[in-house]
Structure 1
């Protein structure tokens, strides 16, 4: 089954898997094993050097994981993928396959804070500089930032939590003109709402813990290779992939062609670092993928309904959701997200931190927790949690005010969600009034 044969709704159920050859099980089995028996001396050697098909070790070759990776690659329009232990592991494995100490990576500045922390902490300690630039900065700003050591441009389709949709085609053009790949974290959009490879992306990443799973039961990630980047033309920039080894072993490009990056990712980076997803988690992920389009339609409908309602509420100063006509990213969302603008709704309470405290504490149906993409609606005050390690000025520079609340909108009844939000907003209003009265008394 290929992308050209069936619609998305069909492929999310069937792509990448086949009937179990031993018993005819309709679901892909969980291969709960560390290793695999070789048929012979030559078979073992061939599995290790890539000349013989078959599993070598579950660190990178578990059949359950491989089936799920094939399905996700199919849905994204890639040639293949690798499951990892988390979305962060997917980012780290991808960039570690491209960079060495002293290298440089460009990234858009409106990224999930956990990714920014990964870049500023661990990658900085490894001697890799990640330079953050506004996604909408002029082309000449981006071009001046490119160096001989620049190895990638990293972005997110829908940055979390600001929801400022990026122009993928423009960034792809900038990256390719510079001679390096565009890497896109497509977690919030999912391949149902956007497929970055169709807009020029070379490598796509997901935190599969989110909407792809949908149930909030497992952590995981995936790296998907488009197979379109011309590594051989950039051999000086990527010698690990496009140049033969000093032991005389042919390059990954020579041996694996358009699978060169994916082969390097699996046989070198993943094998060395071991960010393996348990087969049981891969199995649970597969169950979620099968209903992705159905869930995303409901996620989007609920999100838009709540965003429109919140936009006109007296206690809400601002709503960031690219499905709103008033949103700065609305026009771009119409191009890149025609089936819906995702399921993250971020809004600012007019009463600031104390209003946010009262709001969060008053929620009853909506879960107070950090996560995204669950069937349940989740709420978090980002300034005291995800962005809590930053100074106030740093938070404000990222668009995080004292009253910023992020919703991951689930699949419950909109009526019930709105009733829970209304109760919490009323509590926020009371807290704001009390804070104002105290401030007035102190001023007097």
Structure 2
């Protein structure tokens, strides 16, 4: 976490977690492209492996470049610590790994990225975990879905693809009353538009691949821990509150307090799951974060302008951007995302599926890419790609119906983007 938490976001995004390299004076964080680190002596090595001292052992666990990124992510989100890993999907597994066990479940929003729904509904079964999908606008349904085996509640701040804004405060209260953590995927919002910990989230996950890096060059993930959850308040989370056999009975929560989750995720999660973020990807992400506030401001400005224009186009049946007066979620924006509701939304075309296909194949400036949060504007037909594994009912619930196209608005000139959309809709 930042030593100067009262600094402005724009300062934190450049300075947090980093100092000039003590050996060379290099101001930018070096890429420590190595696997192992020399120990001072055998006692030093023993203390590091016994979690009695913090330091670098092996880059599957810890790396100086990755550590700088972890410190910056914790500062940006206002957390006690963070762990970075190989992708956003890896971050979701890392977040749940210390909490879950065979027979346990997570209550999740129906409005999630299609890959997340598939991961939760299919892959989790291989671990003996399960997921209950609920409409998070129905707070009574969320409460009813939580049972004695529920170990987490999971949602996205701004849902991919439809731009749905979750009432984090209300969901956090439900999770808190049940004594379980709320995990929030903040990828689409970024900490510049929303800091879920301030709304009651326990853990925040990110795909670093998207807005944080901002240029589509790397894959990476992060889990930020608020440090505020009492893992010892019940017997539901023995990985964090009970003796750990692999470390001779060490109790993570008792030993590390607010840093328990972060230490566990590195010492056990990365050790055994091996979802390591490489140093070069961490370096690219650190450089991307330096301009996050500038880019997000432009993303939002462009999205607002383009969404309004699209809403008035004769070929468009509906636009889901939360910044529009027509959005049922506009009232939530000032409270959840006071700096703007992101730049990801969908458009429903009057011509249905065939019109969506023609539209996607006719854009020239927009790129047909299975990514979001790039500086470039992107387009994709979610139902046949990112949400392809879902049933049509699940696609509709997630905001990815067959007659819908997802747009990720970049930072190009808005008028140029409108011109491209206009010619593609005309096609």
TM (normalized to structure 1)?
A: 0.93
C-alpha contact 2:113 2:398 (8 A) present in aligned 1: no
1:372, CA displacement in angstroms? 0.5
Aligned to 1:147: 147
Rounded Cα–Cα distance in structure 1 between residues aligned with 2:88 and 2:390? 22
Rounded Cα–Cα distance in structure 1 between residues aligned with 2:28 and 2:321? 37
C-alpha contact 2:187 2:206 (8 A) present in aligned 1: yes
In structure 1, stretches of 5+ residues that fail to align are 428-444
Rounded Cα–Cα distance in structure 2 between residues aligned with 1:155 and 1:401? 20
Aligned to 2:238: 239
Aligned to 1:402: 402
Rounded Cα–Cα distance in structure 2 between residues aligned with 1:138 and 1:54? 44
Rounded Cα–Cα distance in structure 2 between residues aligned with 1:363 and 1:148? 50
CA-atom RMSD, angstroms?
A: 1.3
Aligned to 2:122: 121
**More divergent stretch after superposition (367-376 vs 129-138):** 129-138
Rounded Cα–Cα distance in structure 2 between residues aligned with 1:367 and 1:143? 41
Rounded Cα–Cα distance in structure 1 between residues aligned with 2:143 and 2:354? 44
Rounded Cα–Cα distance in structure 1 between residues aligned with 2:149 and 2:85? 27
1:261, CA displacement in angstroms? 1.1
Aligned to 1:300: 300
Number of aligned positions between the proteins: 425
Aligned to 2:48: 47
**More divergent stretch after superposition (12-21 vs 51-60):** 51-60
1:248, CA displacement in angstroms? 5.5
**More divergent stretch after superposition (393-402 vs 155-164):** 393-402
Rounded Cα–Cα distance in structure 1 between residues aligned with 2:397 and 2:155? 18
SS of equivalent to 1:59? coil
**More divergent stretch after superposition (356-365 vs 65-74):** 356-365
C-alpha contact 2:35 2:59 (8 A) present in aligned 1: yes
Rounded Cα–Cα distance in structure 2 between residues aligned with 1:142 and 1:419? 43
Structure 1 position 288 matched with structure 2 position 288 = yes
Aligned to 2:100: 99
1:254, CA displacement in angstroms? 1.4
The superposition leaves residues 277-296 of structure 1 with CA deviations (integer Å, 9 ceiling, x where unpaired) of 11001000010000000000
1:393, CA displacement in angstroms? 3.9
**More divergent stretch after superposition (283-292 vs 400-409):** 400-409
1:176, CA displacement in angstroms? 1.2
The superposition leaves residues 165-189 of structure 1 with CA deviations (integer Å, 9 ceiling, x where unpaired) of 1111111111111111100000000
Rounded Cα–Cα distance in structure 1 between residues aligned with 2:244 and 2:352? 58
Aligned to 1:87: 88
**Whose radius of gyration is greater, 1 or 2?**
1
The superposition leaves residues 317-341 of structure 1 with CA deviations (integer Å, 9 ceiling, x where unpaired) of 0000111111010001121111111
SS of equivalent to 2:132? strand
Aligned to 1:344: 344
Aligned to 1:388: 388
TM (normalized to structure 2)?
A: 0.97
Rounded Cα–Cα distance in structure 2 between residues aligned with 1:276 and 1:377? 29
Aligned to 1:134: 135
Q: How is 1:215-294 mapped onto 2 (pairs within 5 angstroms)?
A: 215-234=215-234, 236-245=235-244, 249-294=249-294
Aligned to 1:208: 208
Rounded Cα–Cα distance in structure 1 between residues aligned with 2:67 and 2:330? 37
SS of equivalent to 1:17? coil
The superposition leaves residues 106-147 of structure 1 with CA deviations (integer Å, 9 ceiling, x where unpaired) of 1111111110000111101211111111111133x3333222
1:243, CA displacement in angstroms? 1.3
C-alpha contact 1:3 1:77 (8 A) present in aligned 2: no
Aligned to 2:378: 378
Aligned to 2:73: 72
Q: How is 1:396-435 mapped onto 2 (pairs within 5 angstroms)?
A: 396-427=396-427
C-alpha contact 1:352 1:401 (8 A) present in aligned 2: no
SS of equivalent to 2:68? helix
C-alpha contact 2:190 2:212 (8 A) present in aligned 1: yes
Rounded Cα–Cα distance in structure 2 between residues aligned with 1:187 and 1:396? 21
In structure 2, stretches of 5+ residues that fail to align are none
1:391, CA displacement in angstroms? 3.7
SS of equivalent to 1:132? strand
Rounded Cα–Cα distance in structure 2 between residues aligned with 1:268 and 1:356? 46
